[in-house]
Amino acid sequence: MFLKYKGADKFLKYIVISLLLLEMMNAANAVMIEGEEFLLKIQDVKVNLSKLLDMCTPESCIVGNNSITIRSYYDERVAVEIGDSWINIKLPFRYENTSEGLQIISEIDPKKYNWRECVRTDLLFLKIIGVLNITDSEVEEISKLAEGGSKILYCGGKWRRVGLTCYCHERCMDDRCKVGIVCLEASVRPAGASKFSIPQKSLGSIYNFTLPESPSSNASNVRTILIIFSVLVAIFLLVVLLRKK
């Protein structure tokens, strides 16, 4: 009886697609590639690469085939690699053979690093110099998701943090579309495969640029001071009234 139902074939197709998407979303935690906890990828951003290229000097930029690398404004030890729709934040590290075998050497612990503030500061810097087209709210959303060894992308109407080997996948059938995260299994990176490159000088120092303090943080500080002052005044008035009684 069920198989003879007019919409049975379509119903079964929807069930199969739904199960596949559920499986794909559950696969969001992909296998970590060794050493890539020092890397954070941000995709689906609007970058004016030509504008950045015009600002570059030989000392402040490393120009590749489809990207430009600059020093982080937040932390000059860190490299920021920029493409036409993506940004990679890279902490310095290298592979080295030791008596205990192959080791990853770095002056920065990626697990303790302040990824959020690094991403927030560098996105604001790129926005202010006209290289990145992004809203302040998007900067806050993305920076809150920042974590080493991950990728931040825009999928299903919102910013999401996924594994480095994951991407947003849209599957449509009969004018109905479903969006999910698909992750590919990663292999361990061989020794010497990852090279860290960084320019001699920062772009900010070349132009003597100073990032202005965020107006929101100033407003927050003022509100805090006013609240504390109001509480103290209220306590003072209460003490005066009690003494009169």
How big is the chain by its Cα radius of gyration, in Å? Answer: 25
109/22 same-domain check: yes
pLDDT of 42 strictly over 90: yes
127/192 same-domain check: yes
- Of 148, 159, 185, 163, residue with least CA distance to 29: 163
pLDDT in tens, 156-166: 899 999 999 99
Please check whether residue 133 lies inside any domain of the structure.
Answer: yes
| Separation CA 30–CA 13 (nearest Å) | 27
Q: How many domains does the chain have?
A: 2
87 forms bridges with which residues in the sheet? 42, 82
236/127 same-domain check: no
89/135 same-domain check: yes
144/177 same-domain check: yes
More confident call, 26 vs 75: 75
Mean pLDDT of 21-34: 46
79/127 same-domain check: yes
Please check whether residue 2 lies inside any domain of the structure.
Answer: no
More confident call, 145 vs 102: 145
162/45 same-domain check: yes
